Structure 1
Amino acid sequence: MVSPMPKIQNIYDDPTFHDGYRSLRQTGTGLNDVLEQPALRSLLTPSLKGLAILDLGCGFGDFARYARQQQAASVTGIDVSSKMLDAARHITNDPAIVFIQGAIENLADMEIAGKPFDLIISSLALHYVADYPAAIGEISKRLKSGGRLVFSVEHPICTALAAQKWYQDDAGNKQFWPVDHYRDEGPRHTHWFVDDVIKYHRTVETYVNGLLDAGLQITRLLEPEPLKEAADAKWQKHRRRPPFLILAAEKPR
């Protein structure tokens, strides 16, 4: 008997979640802004000029607007959340940016103009997708020969346990970050703004081999950390365990 595929999650349209996430991103001081985005963008060299880009899990369209500032030819942003896309369209005035509502899981069924793409990017979205190999296979089909994929996910060290938290002593000092059930891949029911946010844990091995199995060549792997000389000590705890995993790959010519 074949198990049915999990229902596609759209937690970003939950009003409480959406408001909490929007407030976090508006501060510009979250881990996305301080660690993940700078590391992700460091892999987009030498230039975005003239590229046709697909952004999977585009959210508020921040990267789409950034890419156009860097002279990308066009950006297609896809997101499952209507609330996120409504906000993205409201603050974007650029005919070369197109936003489409849809899930990464349904990429095979989408009609997207201008494909294939020079670059496909996905920021902290693929850990919400149940069938990672299928998603990477469809992404590979959407890439031009020589095209690149760059994506970030929560680091498997963080997703292994659903209860993501530091072990603290009686005085509240952070002692260590527990890792357990690392090999037990699958859904993790977590709390982030609301209860029962589902993220899919998979090993670094699975992330890497999924790219290789799809015929892509890995060009870089990053586990970004705060700069040692960072003035704000609150970020230094993230040198003790990596919050993000970032992978870059290329479709052979």
Structure 2
Amino acid sequence: MEEPHPLPEYGPIAPLEDNLNLFGDIANLKVLDIGCGSGHSLQYMNQRNAAELWGLDLSEKQVNAAKLLLENCGSPVQLFESPMEENPGLPHNYFDIVYSIYALGWTTDLNKTLSNINKYLKLGGIFIFSWEHPLHSRVSNKDGVLAFNKSYHEEGPYDHEVWGTPAIMQQFRISTYINALVNNGFMVEKVIEDVYCSEEDMQRHENR
């Protein structure tokens, strides 16, 4: 089972790492994937010569799929089945880069998750994450008119269809993400809201 949007993708209708170059040269760096899924983003990191590949995911099925995918990759691999709000044994002050590709929004405790991530990073380390824009679940397209179906300022869990399956998602404003990052010791360097759409994307994601 492949991740819906592994690196170099950042998510649906999002620019690619090839265009953004947020990671830069990762050769010989230790990386940790929060919400690693089936391991395809870690595979991308291995292809770019990362020194060590670490991943964490809530799903046993996904972790097992990642182990299978990465078993002959060449770099040391450490995978943990755990919620991101808990530390299953990951080292502190260890990683050059921690990243989360279209997974951070699943957290049930944003502050706890960001506090953990800050502790995993070396001083001067980098955290990169992508997630659905908060407006996506608040705006609907009705006969060519964009209409708000709920206030942007309303935060918390909500019911959402994900890959054809009902799920509970978390709604946060962009300011909530930024303030939570700052409050947990991060310095925000860049926020990107750009869209990349192929013709197929335009039809599939018309509402967005």
TM-score, normalised with respect to structure 1 = 0.70
- The Cα shift of 1:38 comes to 3.2
- The SS at the match of 1:35 is coil
Structure 1 stretches of at least 4 aligned residues deviating more than 3 Å after TM superposition = 22-26, 36-41, 236-241
Name the residue aligned to 2:26.
Answer: 48
Which amino acid counterpart does residue 140 of structure 2 have in structure 1?
W
Aligned counterpart in structure 2 of residue 32 of structure 1, from 8, 11, 34: 11
Alpha-carbon distance change, 237 to 61 in structure 1, aligned in 2, over 3 angstroms: closer
Q: Mark the runs of 5 or more structure 2 residues left unpaired by the alignment.
A: none
Name the residue aligned to 1:8.
Answer: none
Cα pair 1:226 1:238 within 8 Å, conserved: no
Separation in structure 1 between the aligned mates of residue 33 and residue 120 of structure 2, nearest angstrom: 12
Separation in structure 1 between the aligned mates of residue 62 and residue 19 of structure 2, nearest angstrom: 21
- Structure label with greater radius of gyration: 1
Separation in structure 2 between the aligned mates of residue 185 and residue 225 of structure 1, nearest angstrom: 24
Matched, 1:194 2:165: yes
- The SS at the match of 2:90 is coil
Which amino acid counterpart does residue 150 of structure 1 have in structure 2?
I
Separation in structure 2 between the aligned mates of residue 51 and residue 128 of structure 1, nearest angstrom: 26
- The Cα shift of 1:39 comes to 7.3
Alpha-carbon distance change, 189 to 139 in structure 1, aligned in 2, over 3 angstroms: same
Mapping 1:125-140, distance limit 5 Å = 125-140=103-118
Name the residue aligned to 2:180.
Answer: 210
Name the residue aligned to 1:235.
Answer: 202
Name the residue aligned to 2:101.
Answer: 123
Cα pair 1:117 1:144 within 8 Å, conserved: yes
Indicate the RMSD between aligned Cα atoms, in angstroms: 3.0
- The Cα shift of 1:71 comes to 1.2
Choose between structure 1 and 2: higher helix proportion.
1
Give deviations 1:102-132, integer Å, cap 9, x for gaps: 110112xx21258521100001112111211
Separation in structure 2 between the aligned mates of residue 63 and residue 156 of structure 1, nearest angstrom: 23
Separation in structure 1 between the aligned mates of residue 91 and residue 185 of structure 2, nearest angstrom: 24
Which amino acid counterpart does residue 165 of structure 2 have in structure 1?
V
Aligned counterpart in structure 2 of residue 86 of structure 1, from 64, 80, 86: 64
TM-score, normalised with respect to structure 2 = 0.84
- The Cα shift of 1:135 comes to 1.1
